[in-house]
């Protein structure tokens, strides 16, 4: 959240399913399918509320990059559930914690 923004003014909800590795923040690292396909998905942080449909337990889905497709989410998740997913504020997280900044003006690492 931006500093000094009261929690009651936070009107952001992220809806997704736990078979979607991008939404869940696990499609990262050099050996991940995201990296192999040329995407640098090195994030797992969300602002606002995170609302997760448990499609792995409820529908028997396996984790797959195809579960991020909006048509799948609408047709196979939102239309099949009779209730809204439980929403909660995500735990504080830090992205890019293992990255090193390179100063291109010289050969120094910072």
Tens of pLDDT, residue by residue over 3-38, are 566 666 678 888 999 999 888 888 877 778 888 887
Assess if residue 5 is contained within a domain: no
Residue 109 has pLDDT above 80, yes or no: no
For CA atoms 72, 74, 77, 79, give the dihedral sign.
negative
The domain tally of the chain equals 1
Q: What confidence score (pLDDT) does residue 100 get?
A: 64
Assess if residue 1 is contained within a domain: no
Assess if residue 42 is contained within a domain: yes
Higher per-residue pLDDT: 46 or 16: 16
Residue 89 has pLDDT above 60, yes or no: yes
Report the side by side order of strands in the sheet with 13-17.
Answer: 13-17, 49-53, 87-88
Cα separation of 68 and 96, whole Å? 22
Residue where the block lists tokens 């991020």: 68
Mean pLDDT is lowest, of 2-11, 41-50, 51-60, for 2-11
Residue 95 has pLDDT above 70, yes or no: no
Q: What confidence score (pLDDT) does residue 65 get?
A: 87
User: Does the pTM of the predicted model rise above 0.85?
Assistant: no
* Burial (0-12, 13-18, 19+ Cβ within 10 Å), 35: middle
Assess if residue 80 is contained within a domain: yes
* Structural domain containing residue 26: 11-88
Rounded percentage of the chain residues whose pLDDT exceeds 70? 72
């Amino acid at each position: 959240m931006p500093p000094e923004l009261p929690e009651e003014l936070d009107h952001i909800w992220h809806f997704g399913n736990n078979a979607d590795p991008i939404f869940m923040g696990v499609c990262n690292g050099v050996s991940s399918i995201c990296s192999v396909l040329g995407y640098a998905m090195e994030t797992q942080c969300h602002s606002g509320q995170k609302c997760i449909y448990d499609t792995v337990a409820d529908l028997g889905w396996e984790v797959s990059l195809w579960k991020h497709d909006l048509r799948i989410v609408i047709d196979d998740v939102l239309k099949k559930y009779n209730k809204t997913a439980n929403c909660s504020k995500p735990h504080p997280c830090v992205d890019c914690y293992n990255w090193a900044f390179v100063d291109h003006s010289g050969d120094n690492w910072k």
